[in-house]
Amino acid sequence: MLPPHPECGKDDPIETTRTSMMNSFPDRLLEGYHDFRSESLSHERERYQRLADDGQTPEVMVIACCDSRAAPEMIFHSLPGEIFVMRNVANLAPPYKPDGAFHATSAALEFAVQSLKVKHIVVLGHGRCGGIRAALDPKSEPLSPGDFIGKWMELLGPAAEAIAKNEWMTDSERQTALEHISVRHSIANLRTFPGISKLEGKDQLSLHGAWFDIALGELWTMDPETGDFKRAPFDPN
């Protein structure tokens, strides 16, 4: 079969329109930017100017998932400059490993702790996490030859394998259990970073765990002593 001629589709109005749409900046983002400029920015103009002049000084760092349904800024209703957010697949913190490779999460931790001097680090898990679901599925196929997600989720390999073998648990119970375990596991990994463990020992830095229920919009916080999660208080009045 001969390859298409280079000129094929060049004058096709449908193809031209499709190409134009794909190359255009997303309309939804431009609409959101318009609302930001006309509404949010008008109320926070002084704050943005102060942040631009003085720099950021957030007291809290949040390690959250990339999932578009669990945005920390929305959940905590934070203002610009209040929280320093690092998002990755399944909100995982890797162990300290200064091996010269590329470590995005570790780099963010280094900056937050050593430069910004944050006082709190929160690992924020969430329900229905796709990365957690993939870790529990032994038949899960790589999304690409690189299998970056599969490699990343190996951080939870032993825990995922143990939970997957538990025949007394339902799929949803396994999912939630590993989502909670992933938060505790990440906090344990955070303590392998010398700078973090040193500051925590001096009571200059606190580590926290939390889990967000997407369906109900509820936040559950982790008890630092037991590791159990309990629903955060909420007074609608």
- Looking at the structure, tell me whether residues 195 and 155 fall in a common domain: yes
- Answer whether residue 4 shows pLDDT above 80: no
Let me know whether 119 and 178 are in one domain.
Answer: yes
Long-range contacts of 74-81 (CB under 8 A, 24+ apart): 75/124, 75/212, 75/219, 79/44, 79/47, 80/44, 80/47, 80/48, 80/51, 81/47, 81/51, 81/56, 81/57
Query: Which pLDDT band holds residue 139 (cuts at 50, 70, 90)?
Result: confident
Instruction: Let me know if residue 173 belongs to a domain.
Output: yes
Using an 8 Å Cβ cutoff, are 210 and 222 in contact? yes
- Whether residue 49 lies inside any domain: the answer is no
**Total domain count for the chain?**
2
DSSP letter at 153 equals G
Stated pTM of the model? 0.90
Q: CA-CA distance, 59 to 113, in Å (whole number)?
A: 10
pLDDT tens across 14-61, in order? 676 676 677 899 999 999 999 999 999 999 999 999 999 999 999 999
Per-residue confidence (pLDDT) for residue 231, from 0 to 100: 98
Residues 89 and 160 in one domain: yes
**Confidence at residue 236, expressed as pLDDT on a 0 to 100 scale:** 87
Output the domain CATH number for residue 193: 3.40.1050.10
- Residue 209 belongs to a domain: yes
Domain housing 4? 1-43
